Every structure is written in structure tokens, then in C-alpha cells.
Amino acid sequence: MAAPRRPRQATPHAEPRKAAPRPRSAAARLALATEIQRRLADAYPNAHCELDHRNAFELAVATVLSAQCTDKRVNLVTPELFRRWPTPAALAEALLEDIEEVVRSTGFYRNKAKSIQGLARALVADHGGEVPAEMDALVVLPGIGRKTANVVLGNAFGMNEGVVVDTHVARLSARFGLTRETDAVRIERALMPLFARETWAQLSHLLIWHGRRVCDARRPRCGDCLLNDICPSATL
Ligand code: SF4
């Protein structure tokens, strides 16, 4: 049964905040991580990837477009993008200027258009037009880093190869005191032993959903947060 929520006076505060005290022992961190995951899973039973997609190719492209942009905005752009260029082969042959025009509203559109066309061309040239379901093959593709590879593997292929560390996951991990690392790959490495492997993809959704809905970067709503009695960063 979930522990009762303890009401607190919410006091908005802006980042950067002081680093959260880190639970002293590995066992304490593990216990905290387990309880956080249990409560978030109860609170967000339908947490899922909020980027609309029908296959691994669409998810990979949408994830590239989501850099420095909201999922909502990306979801407004991708229907037209995939209507015009539904496959890697089609996108590989498109005029770069046309792609730029379609993805313009997601920001950094020149780089993003170049990245997704480079990705499409590499998929055609090296993978028969398919997205490979392997971390090593994904991370060498244009525009695909470890975060995007984890998104694709976890959501399009149902594989738990790692934990997606985006801005929300990084911020919440620090606020929970689960790690002091600031580099995404190191944060991922610190999180992996704290959570069961078969839950890694879902864990990312839970943290992202909580970060978007309650634990905002600038104004965390600690007073309404179901973790406020166990979170070391809760506003007193
Ligand atoms: S109590 Fe909740 S909202 Fe406040 S810092 Fe912790 S997780 Fe974020």
C-alpha cells in the first residue's frame, strides 16, 4: 500500500539548487530507488513514450526531432513528415530544403533535417532500410546517441538495454540523491544497478512523466508530490 502523502508547504525555487544529500549507503540508495519506482508506477500506470510513432524508423526520427523541443510540437510535425516520406528510402531521396521546411517549427531545423536524412541514407545503405535492433549498430548512425538508441530499443523493440537519460531523468536522479554524476552516460550507469533490468524502459517513462507533471525544473510542486516524505530535495 502506498505511504500516505505528507502535505507540505510548496515553495517554488529555481535551479540551480543545492545538490540533494545522497543516501549514505548503497543499500539506502537501493531502498529509496525501489520505493520511488513503486510509488511512481502506482501513480502513472499508463506512462508511455509520448512521441507518436508507428514503427522504429518513425520513433528514431521523432526522437532526433525532439531535441530542445517538446514532444507535443514534434507530434504536430511528424504526420506531415511521414505522409510525404514514409520510409527511409523516401526520406533519403527527399530534397533537404523540403525536409527543413516541414521540421522548421521544431527548432535547429537545418541540423535536424540533415540528421534525419543522414539517418535515412545510412539505414538504406547499411541496413536494408531497416532500423537495427542493436545498441552498437544504432549509436554509429547519424543523429543517434545512446539516449535515442535506448528510446528506440526500449519502445520500438521492447528491449531493456539501458535507461533513457534525458533532462527530466537527469534532474530527478539528482534531486533524489541517487547520483551526483552530471554526464548522461554516467547517470545511466549509476541508475542501472538500482532498478531491475526488465523495468528500465518503463522507469524512464515514470521519471519523465513525474518530471513533466510535478517535479518541474524551475518550480517543483513539492507540496503536491507523492514522494515528498522520502525525497531528499523536498522543500521543507
Ligand atoms: S518532493 Fe517531489 S517535486 Fe519536490 S523535488 Fe522531490 S520529487 Fe521533485
Is the pLDDT at 142 greater than 80, yes or no? yes
Residue 181 has a CB neighbour count (10 Å cut-off) of 17
Q: Predicted confidence band at 235 (pLDDT cuts at 50, 70, 90)?
A: confident
pLDDT in tens, 173-223: 999 999 999 999 999 999 999 999 999 999 999 999 999 999 999 999 999
Q: Is the pLDDT of residue 122 over 80?
A: yes
221 Cβ below 6 A of ligand 1: yes
- pLDDT tens-digit profile of 26-36? 899 999 999 99
**Looking at residue 168, what is its pLDDT?**
97
CA of 210, closest atom in ligand 1: 7
Q: What CA–CA distance (Å, rounded) separates 39 from 230?
A: 11
For residue 221, give the ligand 1 atom closest to its CA. Answer: 3
Active site residues: 147, 166
Residue 228 Cβ inside 6 Å of ligand 1? The answer reads yes
pLDDT confidence band for 13 (50 / 70 / 90): very low
Grid look-up 510509488 returns 39
Domains and CATH numbers, the chain: 56-156 (1.10.340.30), 163-231 (1.10.1670.10)
Determine the distance separating the centroid of ligand 1 and the alpha carbon of 193, expressed in angstroms.
22
Between the CA of 189 and the centroid of ligand 1 the distance, in Å, is: 22
Burial class (CB within 10 angstroms; exposed 0-12, middle 13-18, buried 19+) of 190: middle
Peptide bond into 16 cis (omega under 30): yes
Residue 84 confidence (pLDDT) above 60: yes
Which residue among 221, 225, 236 is best mutated to probe the pocket of ligand 1, counting the most ligand atoms within 8 A of its Cβ? Answer: 225
